[in-house]
Amino acid sequence: MSRRMKLGLMGGLVVAIVAAVIALGAAKNRNKPVEVRMEAVGARDLVAVVSASGRIEPDTKVDVLSDIQGRITRIAIHEGDMVKKGQFLLEIDDAVYQAAVSRARGLVASAQSDFLRSRANEDQARRSRDRALELQRADSSLITREAVEQAVTAYDIALANTKASEAGRDQAKAALQEAQDNLRKTRIIAPISGRVTRLAVEEGEVAVPGTFSRDVGLLATIADLSVILAKVQVDETDVVRLSLGDSVEVSIDAFPDTTFVGRVTKISNSARLTATSTASGSTDRAVDFDVEITLTNPPADIRPDLSSTARIVTDVRKGTLSVPIISLTVREHTDVPSEARPAAAADTGATGKKKHEREGVFVVANGVASFRPVKVGIAGDEYFEVLEGVALGDTIVAGPYQAVRDLKDSTRVKSSEADTTKKKAS
């Protein structure tokens, strides 16, 4: 045998040995159990909640606006003051409006004089007409037909003038009433009882009507703080789970050591639109709905616009089967006929089986983890309610997350907690 052949045989032998060692190591690793955290399926009390954030708002809030334009000459309130309905708040310079009232009164007096003069002319024309008609009836030769017609026409004209002057008088009175109303509007009074939560002007500034811009025309804001709301924004995926009357725990950032309770009293039927989304017309955005929560016992020193977080209780289960949220995973699963869902029954084919993704957990029996589909109900903070698929006392893989994610069906597992206990004991 040549030297070259000997070297070739030796190289092949070395390669075979290395391959055998690698294969043996791989087989050993495949047979090595995966360390997982195990937990028994138990009965627990679960509470399903929807969390949302928002702000504190009063149930009744009124923005005080001006209906007329003028310079503010006096302000009788301060921000934070309590006011009663009808209480004087501020005054606008009334010189122009006083002059308008005086002018309107003069026009009323003039119109009244015109009306009285027209009435007098009407009475005179009526008497002339009556005399002419009486003479005509007594003896037609005593008065000409033309004179009678002139008397009747004169009366009709006088009557029309009286009606016109009466309308002019009424118009002047309406102008006077409008001028007086504008004069009254120079004194701004409180529309409701409550607290002045915002005073937006100072003495000397010009008040403008808030018809076209509430921000520009705003004078003050008065809020009735007897009923306090937490107005939160709930995502579209969660709002369908809410109902009027749901119990709520509200945390207010300004009161970190206190949790307040309330009830859901209003759920918006349309999405909350922001100025940005409205202007852009984009539909690729989060859709939120306004939900109002009435607080049962709000603190006395609460203020509007405080940040708040609400935990809305949507459902409660007592003593229901549950599994950890982390244990639920998705795998491709071949349904047997008894497991197949009605919608998939028509696609099972000749074998009576269909393979598709199902939610489930890994059930451990004799050190082997097997995937088992489950049907879940409500979700608590850490556990899912299980409606079907597992039984009380079944041992399942409850973590860690990476192990549950990578675990395959029929994989050997061992409890990492047991190993840790043995190491501590030794």
pLDDT in tens, the chain (426 residues): 555 555 555 655 655 565 555 554 544 455 678 889 999 999 999 999 999 999 999 999 999 999 999 999 999 999 999 999 999 999 999 999 999 999 999 999 999 999 999 999 999 999 999 999 998 888 878 888 899 899 999 999 999 999 999 999 999 999 999 999 999 999 999 999 999 999 999 999 999 887 767 778 899 999 999 899 999 999 998 999 999 999 999 999 999 989 999 999 999 999 876 544 444 455 556 789 999 999 999 988 888 999 999 999 999 999 999 999 999 999 887 765 555 444 444 444 444 556 678 899 999 999 999 999 999 999 988 999 999 999 999 999 998 988 889 898 888 998 876 444 343 433
Distance CA 313, CA 193 (A): 34
Residue 393, judged by CB atoms within 10 A of its CB (0-12, 13-18, 19+), counts as exposed
Q: What is the pLDDT of residue 307?
A: 95
Q: What is the pLDDT of residue 231?
A: 95
Strands (E), 41-148: 42-65, 70-75, 82-83, 88-92
Distance CA 60, CA 76 (A): 22
209 Cβ contact list (under 8 Å, min separation 6): 65, 66, 67, 68, 69, 217
Q: Hey, what are 203's tokens?
A: 């003495």
Residue position matching structure tokens 């003038």: 161
Q: What is the pLDDT of residue 199?
A: 94
Q: What is the pLDDT of residue 3?
A: 56
DSSP 8-state code for residue 366: T
Q: What is the pLDDT of residue 275?
A: 45
87 Cβ contact list (under 8 Å, min separation 6): 189, 190
Distance CA 184, CA 163 (A): 31
Distance CA 258, CA 252 (A): 8
**CB–CB of 232/50 below 8 Å?**
no
Distance CA 367, CA 248 (A): 44
Q: What is the pLDDT of residue 416?
A: 79
Q: What is the pLDDT of residue 349?
A: 46
Distance CA 180, CA 100 (A): 8
Residue 199 CA, chain-centre distance (Å), reads: 26
Pairing state of beta strands 34-40 and 411-415? parallel
Cis before 400? omega within 30: yes
167 Cβ contact list (under 8 Å, min separation 6): none
* For the chain, the helix, strand and coil percentages under 3-state DSSP, each to the nearest 5: 35, 40, 25
Q: Hey, what are 418's tokens?
A: 């047991």
